[in-house]
């Protein structure tokens, strides 16, 4: 196999022992039609030279990558789903296919699947993924990456030639198998399962594994390892929640089995990007109470961290675990200010002024129900963009006391990258966005005529916008 010299295989997960996973066999599919290959991330991890046949062998038939896991592992975990504990979870339609190390930063990476067949944890499901679901995951990960969110990457998508029956979309529908590249397959629910089983020995071993693999930069201190891990997971989770808010993203299903130990966003089902500033906006049609609405995401993440602390209770004093979580709120606030100013292209000051600017922005956007993405596009670079903002499709919203307060704060900030303001993308009337109507419009030609050109063009446009903002592999 023509892997690059930078390819660094790993099989670290096996060291955790069989209590945490089940070896499984991938499904056999009638067809393997490549629909998406993430060449830029393949090149980063040393797999860019794979031929089409080799790519199919490893990411559709799931033949082992050299030096990595020799058999797929369906991981075991529990989770709170809409705050009800479910002990019957685990990888039900996916598995950990391979591990490797990022040759750029040395971090451990996982190649995990979605739609790769039944496992012991399928709970009667068919273990498959719809093609539309795969397309939606491509779009979510591409735009989140372009907006600087710490997200898994859609690595590969094959159409698999089966007809699936689903209640939430016209059936039968086309099938697919997806591979995602991420920094950890270990979820909050992995620890919850061990606590449920009172397996403190395995939990302690898992804590140490996570510190060594995912937080090697964190020096040892006098705290128990579990408290040290929780404190750092809380900091990364705070930044993740802040990045969703700045990006105008609603994950939709923030259950504890959908939160991982590396603070990375993954597993995109009923996600949405905000059309207008609306704290109550929900992504999942079944979220009737708005538990995971846009404005409740930071609290949902904190609630999940508290459940993780409960799972770690046998390993550290309660007071130390509580103190570890106490860092979440100030870290979230600081990250939100930094993330919002970053999206506005403004140089942070690091003091109360940053919070006042962010509050003024959100107050104006809320009162006027401003288009979320348009507002950031119009005012990127601050006062230097006033002329472009005056031509905005929502220029009529640039009025009133709330807007004037925002504008007064805005005028006191400097642009971090004034050279970007002359770029053709910044001269466009509208920014690159991805509301639900466009997602459906991108799917329509695929469903009707197997036309993938609009999707490919959208991905290229998103990547161009991300590159302008310094986001993407190697950025």
How confident is the model over 160-208, as pLDDT tens digits? 999 998 877 788 999 999 999 999 989 999 999 999 999 999 999 999 9
Q: What is the span of the domain harbouring residue 418?
A: 345-434
- Residues 193 and 178 both lie in one domain: no
- Residues 222 and 303 both lie in one domain: yes
Domain count, the chain: 3
Collapsing DSSP to helix, strand or coil, 246 comes out as helix
- Residues 210 and 88 both lie in one domain: no
Residue 332: the pLDDT is 98
Side-chain-facing half-sphere of 293: CA atoms under 13 Å: 11
- Residues 330 and 194 both lie in one domain: yes
Residues 220-225, mean pLDDT to the nearest whole number: 94
Flag whether 455 is in a domain: no
pLDDT at 54 over 70: yes
Provide the percentage of residues in the chain whose pLDDT is more than 90: 95
Residue 124: the pLDDT is 87
- Tell me how long the chain is: 475
Flag whether 254 is in a domain: no
Q: Which of 445, 468, 245 is nearest to 341 (CA)?
A: 245
Residue 164: the pLDDT is 94
- Residues 315 and 413 both lie in one domain: no
Which residues lie across from 23 on neighbouring strands?
73
Distances (CA, A) of 383 to 60, 336, 393: 51, 21, 18
Residue 1 pLDDT class (50, 70, 90 cuts): low
Residue 400: the pLDDT is 96
Report d(CA 354, CA 348) in Å as an integer: 6
Flag whether 329 is in a domain: yes
Residues 84-94, mean pLDDT to the nearest whole number: 95
Flag whether 19 is in a domain: yes
Side-chain-facing half-sphere of 321: CA atoms under 13 Å: 15
- Residues 123 and 203 both lie in one domain: no
- Residues 207 and 130 both lie in one domain: no
Share the mean pLDDT of the chain.
Answer: 96
- Residues 31 and 169 both lie in one domain: yes
- Residues 364 and 384 both lie in one domain: yes
Residue 351: the pLDDT is 83
- Residues 79 and 218 both lie in one domain: no
Choosing from 91, 102, 239, 257, which is the catalytic residue? 257
Residue 420: the pLDDT is 96
Report d(CA 324, CA 133) in Å as an integer: 37
Report d(CA 405, CA 359) in Å as an integer: 10
Flag whether 306 is in a domain: yes
Which residues lie across from 178 on neighbouring strands?
114, 157
Residue 403 pLDDT class (50, 70, 90 cuts): very high
Residue 166: the pLDDT is 87
Q: Give the pLDDT confidence of 432-463 residue by residue, as tens digits.
A: 999 999 999 999 999 999 999 999 999 999 99
Residue 418: the pLDDT is 95
Residue 28: the pLDDT is 97
- Residues 128 and 207 both lie in one domain: no
Instruction: Give the domain-ending residue among 335, 368, 384.
Output: 335
pLDDT at 472 over 90: no
Residue 473: the pLDDT is 82
pLDDT at 51 over 70: yes
Report d(CA 65, CA 98) in Å as an integer: 7
Report d(CA 117, CA 241) in Å as an integer: 31
| Cα dihedral 166, 171, 172, 177 sign | negative
Q: Which of 181, 164, 177, 166 is nearest to 33 (CA)?
A: 177
Flag whether 409 is in a domain: yes
Q: Is 91 a catalytic residue?
A: no
Contact between 117 and 127 under an 8 Å Cβ cutoff? The reply is yes
Residue 48 pLDDT class (50, 70, 90 cuts): very high
Q: Give the pLDDT confidence of 94-105 residue by residue, as tens digits.
A: 999 999 999 999
pLDDT at 475 over 60: no
Residue 2: the pLDDT is 58
- Residues 54 and 159 both lie in one domain: yes
Flag whether 143 is in a domain: no
Residues 289-318, mean pLDDT to the nearest whole number: 98
Residue 474: the pLDDT is 54
Q: Is 82 left (phi over 0), alpha (psi -120 to 50) or beta?
A: left
Flag whether 360 is in a domain: yes
Residue 322: the pLDDT is 97
Residue 169: the pLDDT is 76
């Amino acid at each position: 196999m023509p892997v690059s010299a930078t390819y660094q295989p790993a099989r670290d997960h096996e060291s955790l022992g069989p209590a945490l996973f089940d070896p499984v066999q991938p499904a056999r599919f009638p067809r393997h039609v490549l629909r998406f290959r993430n060449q830029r991330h393949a090149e980063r991890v040393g797999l860019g030279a794979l031929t089409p046949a080799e790519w199919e062998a490893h990411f559709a038939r799931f033949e082992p990558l050299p030096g990595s896991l020799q058999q797929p592992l369906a991981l075991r975990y529990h989770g709170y789903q809409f705050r009800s504990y479910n002990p019957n979870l685990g990888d039900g339609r996916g598995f950990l296919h391979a591990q490797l190390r990022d040759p750029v930063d040395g971090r451990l990476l996982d190649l995990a699947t979605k739609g790769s067949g039944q496992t012991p944890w399928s709970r009667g499901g068919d273990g498959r993924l719809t093609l539309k679901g795969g397309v939606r995951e491509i779009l979510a990960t591409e735009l989140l990456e372009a907006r600087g969110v710490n997200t898994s990457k859609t690595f590969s998508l094959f159409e698999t030639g089966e007809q699936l029956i689903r209640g939430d979309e016209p059936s039968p529908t086309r099938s697919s198998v997806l591979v995602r590249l991420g920094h950890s397959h270990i979820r909050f629910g992995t620890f919850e399962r061990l606590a449920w089983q009172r397996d403190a020995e395995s939990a302690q071993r898992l804590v140490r594994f996570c510190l060594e693999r995912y937080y090697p930069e964190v020096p040892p201190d006098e705290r128990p390892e579990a408290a040290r891990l929780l404190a750092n997971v809380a900091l990364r989770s705070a930044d993740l929640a802040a990045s969703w808010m700045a990006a105008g993203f609603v994950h939709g299903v923030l259950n504890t089995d959908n939160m991982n130990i590396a603070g990375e966003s993954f597993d995109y089902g009923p996600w949405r990007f905000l059309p207008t500033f609306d704290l109550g906006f929900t992504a999942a049609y079944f979220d009737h109470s708005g538990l995971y609405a846009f404005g409740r995401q930071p609290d949902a993440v904190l609630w999940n961290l508290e459940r993780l602390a409960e799972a770690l209770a046998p390993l550290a004093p309660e007071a130390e675990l509580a103190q570890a979580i106490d860092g979440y709120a100030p870290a979230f606030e600081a990250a939100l200010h930094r993330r919002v100013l970053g999206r506005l292209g403004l140089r942070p000051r690091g003091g109360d002024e940053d919070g006042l600017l962010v509050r003024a922005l959100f107050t104006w956007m809320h009162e006027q129900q401003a288009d979320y993405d348009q507002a950031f596009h119009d005012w990127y670079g601050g006062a230097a963009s006033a002329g472009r903002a005056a031509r905005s499709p929502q220029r009529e919203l640039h009025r009133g006391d709330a807007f004037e307060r925002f504008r007064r704060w805005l005028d006191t900030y400097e642009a971090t990258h004034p050279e970007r303001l002359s770029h053709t993308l910044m001269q466009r009337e509208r920014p690159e966005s991805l509301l639900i109507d466009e997602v459906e419009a991108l799917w329509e030609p695929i469903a009707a005529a197997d036309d993938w050109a609009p999707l490919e063009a959208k991905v290229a446009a998103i990547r161009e916008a991300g590159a302008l903002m310094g986001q993407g592999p190697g950025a």
